[in-house]
Structure 1
Amino acid sequence: MFDVIVKGGLVVDGTGAPAFTGDVAVKDGRIAAVGKVEGEARQVVDAAGRVVAPGFIDPHTHFDVQLLWDGAARPALEHGVTTIVPGNCSLSLAPLKAADRRRVVGMFQQIEEMPPEAFTTAFEWSWEDFAGYVAAIRKGLSINVAPLVGHSVIRLWVMGNASQERAATPDEIAAMQDLLRECLDAGAVGLSTSFVDVDENGRPVPSRFAQFEELDALCAVLGEYGRMLQCVPEFYATDITIARIDQLAELSLKHNIPTTFSPLFDTAAVPDNAPRAIARVEEHFARGARVWPQMQTRPIDISFSLLRPSLFFARLPRWVRILRQPLDERLAALRDPETADKMVADLGPDGGEQMMGRLVVRGGDAAPSELVGKTLSEIAAARGEVPARALINLSLEHGLDVAFLSASQGHQLTDRIGPMLAHPLVHIGASDGGAHLASFATYGDTGYLFSEFVRKGRYLSLEKAVAKVTSETADIWGLKDRGRLAEGLAADIVVFDADNIDRGAELPSFDMPGDGMRYVRAARGVDTVLVNGEVAYSSGAYTQSRSGVICA
C-alpha cells in the first residue's frame, strides 16, 4: 500500500518534457511511481484539473532566524516552495561566537531590515558552530533547508574586530579554510559573500575587506566539495558588475565550482544593465565557467514609515542614521529645524520630487483616511511644501505612524523581463523571503512567474517554467534528489491551478516578534504541498507535519 497517491492531475515532471495526465504515488517519503498508478493508498489527493509538479526551490532567502520558531518558513510553503536556501549576502547565524552575536544582529537589521525582537524574544541562543545551528532548526522543519554559510561570519570568527579593518594574514586565511570545511561537513551547501553591504554603523561588512587571495583560498575549499559560491555584486554599477562576473568566472574555472550572483535588476533607468550582464555570462559559459545570474520575477513594492529604518533610504546616510536612533532621539532630530533642513537638502534641489513624489500614502493607524491613496506630490502641493518636507511633517503630525508605498521598483517592463527569464542561463531566484519584513511584501515570485510570464505573456511554456524553479535549480545547487517527479527521488510535490496561480494580494501579518508587522503575499492557486511525502500545506492551511530536512 502506498502512503499517498496524487491522482488524476496534469503531471509536469520538472524535466521540461510535455505534460501528461497521470498519478504520482508516494511511499516512505519517496516517489514510488509516476503514470497510471494501480493500488491503494492511506491518503488520496484529488488533483483533477490541477497541475502536479515537483516542489519549487527558492535559492535566495533570509529565513535564518525565522526558522528557529517557524519551521514552515511562512509563507513559502503556500507558494509551492518546498526547499529554501538561507544564509545569503555573506550573513548566517553560524559560526558565531556569543560575544559577536550583537554585531551580526546589527548587520541583519541593517541589510535585511529584521526587527531586533526577532533575535531576542523568540528563541534562545544555544549554539556557536554551524552544526549547532543546524541542530537547532532541524527538529521543527516543515520545509527543506539547504543553508549557505556567510563569509562575513567566518571572517568575524577568525579575525574578531580586525575582520572589519584589514586584509587577512596567511594564517588567518588557513583558519578560515578549516572553518569553512567544518561548516560544509555540517550541512552548508556553499559560501555567500557580499561586495556592497554595510553594518548598522555604515561600515562595510567583513566580507568586503577580503582580498582576492582570501576568496580564492575559500573557493579552493568549495572546490573540494563541489559547492556553491553566492555573491552580491555592485549591482548599481554595470561596469563593476561585469568585472565581478569576470572574477566569478575565473574562480569557477579554477576551482570547478558553480557560482551565482544576485540580484540582477532590469530597470528603465539603466536599460543596458541586465542585457550586458547576461551577454558577459554567455561568454563565460562558452569557456566552461558556471556563473548564474539570479533574477526576480516580480517588481518590488516598498512600504515604510519613519517608525523604523527602511531600505528606501539606503542611499541617504543622514536619513539612515536618524531613523536608526531610539524613538525619542529620532523624534527630536526630526523636529529640529536645522536637522530637517539638512535632510531635505539631501534630496537635491527638487526637494525630493523625483525620489518621493510618486510615493502613495498607504495607511497606518494614525494616517488621515482622506490622504490614503494620494501621492506625496499632491499632498506636498496642497501644503505648500516640497515632498521631502511634507513627508517629515506629515509623519510628525501623526506620531510617525503614516505608511508610504513606493510601487514597482525595478522590473518595470514586462516585455523586457519575459525573454530574460526565459533565457537558459538566467536563474530564477532572489525572493528575499524572511527579510525586509516591514518594507516590502516578500514572496509571490513563483505565482508571478506563472501568472505574468506563462499564462499572460507566454514567454515560457508551463513545462519550461516548472523546470526553471525545480530541476534546473536543483542541478545548479547540486540537490541531487530534488526537482523532478521520478521514481526514487524525494517526494516534494506541489499541486496548483495553472489558470489561477498568482502572487496574490498583500496582507498584513503580525507574527514577527515585537512590533514587526510585515506585509506578505498571500498564496493564490496552490492547493496542496507535500514535503518528503507528507502533506505540509492543504486547502489554505498548514498541517502538523514536520517532514522537512537539511539537504546538502
Structure 2
Amino acid sequence: MQVPHAPLRVFVMGKRAVERDPATPKDIAEMARLACEAVEAGALGFSTSRTINHKANDGTLTPSYSAASDELTGIARELGQAGIGVLQFISDFDDVESEFEIVERMVAESGRPLSLSLLQSSRHPEGWRDVLARLEQARAKGAPIRAQIAGRPVGLIVGLEFSRHPFQACPSYQDVAHLDIGERREALRDLARKARVLAEQVGLTDEYSVMLSNRFGGMYEMTDDPDYEPSKEDSIAARAEREGRSAVELAYDVLVDGSGVIYAPAANYLDNSLVPIRTMMAHEATTFGLGDGGAHCSFICDASLPTYYLRRWVAPYGVTNDPEERMPLETVIRKLTTDTADLVGLGDRGQIRVGLRGDLNVIDLDNVMLMKPESIGDLPNGAKRLHQRARGYDATVVAGEVTYRNGEPTGALPGRLVRGARPRVAA
C-alpha cells in the first residue's frame, strides 16, 4: 500500500544501495520521481525503515537504514509538490534528537502528514517516553505527525508448524521435518530421537536457535483465549525449574505434546507490564497500528490486534478488573476505525455515515475471544501462514455486503484493490 524505501533504493542504486552508500543528487531525484509516480498510480505514500530489526537472512541491514536526511527529504519534498501521499518513518530512535530532526525536516519541506512507529524496546526501556515528548513538541508547532502503537506485546509465535522453533536446525529433527505434523509429532515422541534432538540443540550456533535458546525465561505456552500478559512464573524457564528439568526439554514437550504453540514477547513487555502500552494508547497523538498480519506471516500474528483491543481494554467487557486500565468503547472504536483511516488518507471509510463505505462489524462484546494461532497453507505453492480465529463477531459487512456470518465466510467478495487516498466525504 506504500512505496517502500529499501527496494526503491536498490532499484535506483543497485549494489551501492545494499552497501548503504550515500545517494547522489541524481539518485535522489530518480527515487523521488519514482515514489511520486507510484503514489499517483495508487500507493498511499512512502515509508522508510531505519531499524536493525529489518535485515536480510545473512544479517545485512536494510538498504535504507542509514539513508541521509537529504535523501529522505528529497523524496518527501517531491510528494509534497504533487500534494499527495503520506509518510511513514520507522526508527530505533537510538538518538531521538537527530532522528526527529530528520522527521521534522521531511514534514516541513513536504507538508505531508507523517506517522512513526513507537514501541518499548529492551535496548531503550524508557526511550518511548522521550519519543512521545519530542512528538508533543513537534505537534505544538503544527507538524502533522502521529505515532503508531501496538496495544499488546509484539512477539514471535513459535511452533513445529511455523517457521521458527528451537529445534529446527537439529539434524535429528530435520530427518523428520518433511513429515506432516501428525506423523512428525509421532516421530518426535520416540525417546531416542528426543534425546538426540535435545543433545544437538545445545550445540547449535545459528542466529535463530541461539536467540530462542536464550529466551526461555521470556517464552510462554499459548492456548485458546491466549494470555498476552503472562507472569514470569509461567515462563518455560520458571515452569521447568519447578519441575526439576531443563527449559529446552519442557519446550520440546510443549511443542510435541502440549498446546503446540509458544509465545515469545519481543517488545512492549519489559518487566511483564502493560503500563507503558496503556500510557501510549491514551496519548492524543497515537493511533493504533503496527499489526503485522501480512508481513512476517509465518512467525508473527498481529492481525488479531483489533479483537484483542476489545477483549483486553474495553470497559465493561474487557478482561481487566482495574478501572484505571480500561478504555471507553467509543474511544477504542474511533482509534481502530476513523483514526486509522484518516492516518493514511482514506476519507471514504472509518465512520458510520451516509456517503461512506458500508464497512461494519456486528459484535457480541460479551463473547469476544481469540483462539491460539494456527498454521494454514493457502499461500501460493502451498506456503503456510499464521491464522488466528476469533469469536464474538455476528457479522462482517464490506461495502454493504455480509462477508462473514458467525465467523464463517458467506462467499461474498465485494472488496476491491484500493488505489490511492480518498477525500473525506462532507457530512
Q: Do residues 357 (structure 1) and 212 (structure 2) align?
A: no
Q: Alpha-carbon deviations, 1:75-116, whole Å to 9, x = none?
A: xxxxxxxxxxxxxxxxxxxxxxxxxxxxxxxxxxxxxxxxxx
**In structure 2, distance between residues paired with 1:259 and 1:516:** 34
Q: Is the 8 A contact 1:422 1:459 kept in 2?
A: no
Equivalent of residue 390 in structure 2, options 509, 523, 548:
523
Q: Do residues 226 (structure 1) and 84 (structure 2) align?
A: yes
TM-score, with structure 1 as normaliser? 0.58
Deviation at 1:290, TM superposition (A): 2.0
Using a 3 Å threshold, how does the CA distance of structure 1 residues 512 and 391 change in structure 2: closer, same or farther?
A: farther
Q: Do residues 273 (structure 1) and 127 (structure 2) align?
A: yes
**In structure 1, distance between residues paired with 2:334 and 2:419:** 19
Secondary structure, counterpart of 2:314 in structure 1: helix
Secondary structure, counterpart of 1:226 in structure 2: coil
Q: Alpha-carbon deviations, 1:117-150, whole Å to 9, x = none?
A: xxxxxxxxxxxxxxxxxxxxxxxxxxxxxx1111
The aligned counterpart of 2:100 is 245
1:94-133 mapped onto 2 (5 Å cutoff):
none
Equivalent of residue 136 in structure 2, options 279, 282, 307:
282
**In structure 2, distance between residues paired with 1:188 and 1:415:** 36
Secondary structure, counterpart of 1:479 in structure 2: coil
Q: Do residues 297 (structure 1) and 142 (structure 2) align?
A: no
Q: Do residues 494 (structure 1) and 361 (structure 2) align?
A: yes
1:203-214 mapped onto 2 (5 Å cutoff):
203-214=60-71
Fraction of identical pairs, as percent: 25
Q: Do residues 172 (structure 1) and 27 (structure 2) align?
A: yes
The aligned counterpart of 1:124 is none
Name the amino acid aligned to 2:371: A
Q: Is the 8 A contact 2:153 2:266 kept in 1?
A: yes
Secondary structure, counterpart of 1:500 in structure 2: helix
Name the amino acid aligned to 2:104: A
The aligned counterpart of 1:192 is 47
**In structure 2, distance between residues paired with 1:152 and 1:374:** 37
Q: Is the 8 A contact 1:303 1:403 kept in 2?
A: yes
The aligned counterpart of 1:462 is 329
Secondary structure, counterpart of 1:506 in structure 2: coil
**In structure 2, distance between residues paired with 1:345 and 1:543:** 42
Deviation at 1:277, TM superposition (A): 1.8
Deviation at 1:174, TM superposition (A): 1.6
**In structure 2, distance between residues paired with 1:435 and 1:539:** 27
**In structure 2, distance between residues paired with 1:410 and 1:338:** 29
Q: Is the 8 A contact 1:482 1:490 kept in 2?
A: yes
**In structure 1, distance between residues paired with 2:106 and 2:15:** 28
Secondary structure, counterpart of 2:28 in structure 1: helix
**In structure 2, distance between residues paired with 1:217 and 1:211:** 10
Moved more, 336-345 or 285-294: 336-345
Secondary structure, counterpart of 1:544 in structure 2: coil
Using a 3 Å threshold, how does the CA distance of structure 1 residues 179 and 247 change in structure 2: closer, same or farther?
A: same
1:533-552 mapped onto 2 (5 Å cutoff):
533-549=400-416, 550-552=418-420
The aligned counterpart of 2:11 is 157
**In structure 2, distance between residues paired with 1:542 and 1:337:** 42
Name the amino acid aligned to 1:439: F
Deviation at 1:240, TM superposition (A): 2.5
**In structure 2, distance between residues paired with 1:341 and 1:381:** 28
The aligned counterpart of 1:430 is 290
Q: Is the 8 A contact 1:450 1:501 kept in 2?
A: no
Q: Is the 8 A contact 1:532 1:548 kept in 2?
A: yes
Deviation at 1:452, TM superposition (A): 2.2
Deviation at 1:198, TM superposition (A): 1.0
Using a 3 Å threshold, how does the CA distance of structure 1 residues 380 and 542 change in structure 2: closer, same or farther?
A: same
Count of paired positions: 374
Using a 3 Å threshold, how does the CA distance of structure 1 residues 346 and 189 change in structure 2: closer, same or farther?
A: closer
**In structure 2, distance between residues paired with 1:268 and 1:167:** 30
Using a 3 Å threshold, how does the CA distance of structure 1 residues 252 and 482 change in structure 2: closer, same or farther?
A: same
Using a 3 Å threshold, how does the CA distance of structure 1 residues 335 and 306 change in structure 2: closer, same or farther?
A: farther
Secondary structure, counterpart of 2:88 in structure 1: strand
Deviation at 1:346, TM superposition (A): 6.6
Q: Is the 8 A contact 1:253 1:288 kept in 2?
A: no
Deviation at 1:276, TM superposition (A): 2.3
Q: Is the 8 A contact 2:96 2:130 kept in 1?
A: no
Q: Is the 8 A contact 2:73 2:106 kept in 1?
A: yes
Secondary structure, counterpart of 1:536 in structure 2: strand
Deviation at 1:548, TM superposition (A): 1.8
**In structure 2, distance between residues paired with 1:483 and 1:344:** 39
Q: Alpha-carbon deviations, 1:228-275, whole Å to 9, x = none?
A: 1112211xxx5434542342122112211111112x224798552332
The aligned counterpart of 1:439 is 299
Deviation at 1:492, TM superposition (A): 1.9
Using a 3 Å threshold, how does the CA distance of structure 1 residues 338 and 523 change in structure 2: closer, same or farther?
A: closer
Name the amino acid aligned to 1:436: H
Q: Alpha-carbon deviations, 1:42-73, whole Å to 9, x = none?
A: xxxxxxxxxxxxxxxxxxxxxxxxxxxxxxxx
TM-score, with structure 2 as normaliser? 0.73
Q: Is the 8 A contact 2:289 2:340 kept in 1?
A: no
Q: Is the 8 A contact 2:338 2:351 kept in 1?
A: yes
Gaps of 5+ in 2: 178-192, 224-233, 421-427
Deviation at 1:190, TM superposition (A): 0.3
Q: Do residues 418 (structure 1) and 278 (structure 2) align?
A: yes
The aligned counterpart of 1:41 is none
Moved more, 249-258 or 459-468: 459-468
1:62-141 mapped onto 2 (5 Å cutoff):
none
Q: Is the 8 A contact 2:121 2:268 kept in 1?
A: yes
Q: Is the 8 A contact 1:446 1:503 kept in 2?
A: no
**In structure 2, distance between residues paired with 1:344 and 1:255:** 40
Gaps of 5+ in 1: 1-146, 314-318, 364-372
Secondary structure, counterpart of 2:64 in structure 1: helix
Deviation at 1:480, TM superposition (A): 1.8
